[in-house]
Structure formats: structure tokens, C-alpha cells
Amino acid sequence: KNQVEQSPQSLIILEGKNCTLQCNYTVSPFSNLRWYKQDTGRGPVSLTIMTFSENTKSNGRYTATLDADTKQSSLHITASQLSDSASYICVVSASSGGYNKLIFGAGTRLAVHP
């Protein structure tokens, strides 16, 4: 069964600190892995996308890593800001007969406090 699990479920950090969110997946056949940021009451916005051959991808203060052997990914946020408070969703794309299917994680709710 295709699954994406994220940890922690929620996280509180102080402004300026770094944090790392985890994503483990059992998805086959794997196509790519994406991290999305979802602000409360808004739709998800893509942060990074990585294919099987990519180990790391950065987008400003966001850096995602992918270990395709262990089927793990992480999202590292550097020098957090109050605006980073949001849910971060790991989404794995599975190849499925011509079009891919997206498998969503439950998300990590990050709160950045001043």
C-alpha cells in the first residue's frame, strides 16, 4: 500500500532557529517527491520537487533532501521567520499507467514564535 508518513505531527520553534521535518514513504513505482507549504485557509504551494536521482534541492531558506534507498526525505528550514508558520506537506508521486498519482502525507504543523 502506498503511504507517506510525516514527523513530527506538530512543532514549535523560536524565530531565527532552524528545524528539520521528516518524511518516510512506501510508494512504488516512485516518480518524484515534493514538499508543499500550506498556510491556514489557503491552498498548498510547491517548495521543492525531487526526482529519484536528486539528493538535495534548495529554495531560499528551504532545503529538501532525498534518500531513495531508505525512502526518506527531509525539509530543513534555516533561520525561521514568523511567516514560516504553516503546514508542510510531503507528497510523493507514483507512476500510474500514463499519469502519476499523488500520495499525500498528513503534514507537519509548524509554529514559529517570536
Among 41, 53, 70, 114, interactor with another protein by CB under 8 A: 41
Instruction: Mark residues 10-39: x for contact with another protein by CB under 8 A, - for none.
Output: ---------------------xx---x---
Is the separation of the CB atoms in 114 and 89 below 8 Å?
A: no
Choices 17-25, 43-51, 60-68, 72-80; region in contact with another protein by CB under 8 A: 43-51
For 1-114, strand residue ranges (E) read: 3-7, 10-14, 19-26, 30-38, 45-51, 56-59, 62-67, 72-77, 86-94, 101-104, 108-113
Whether 10 and 67 have beta carbons less than 8 Å apart is answered as: no
- The residue within the footprint of another protein, chosen from 11, 13, 68, 102 (CB under 8 A), is 102
Does 111 bind another protein (CB under 8 A)? Our answer is no
In whole angstroms, how close is the CB of 86 to another protein at the nearest point?
Answer: 13
Question: Taking CB under 8 A as the criterion, which residues in 56-95 touch another protein?
Answer: 89, 93, 95
Give the number of residues written for the chain.
114
**Within 10 Å of residue 44's Cβ, how many Cβ atoms?**
18
Q: Which of 42, 52, 55, 111 binds another protein (CB under 8 A)?
A: 42
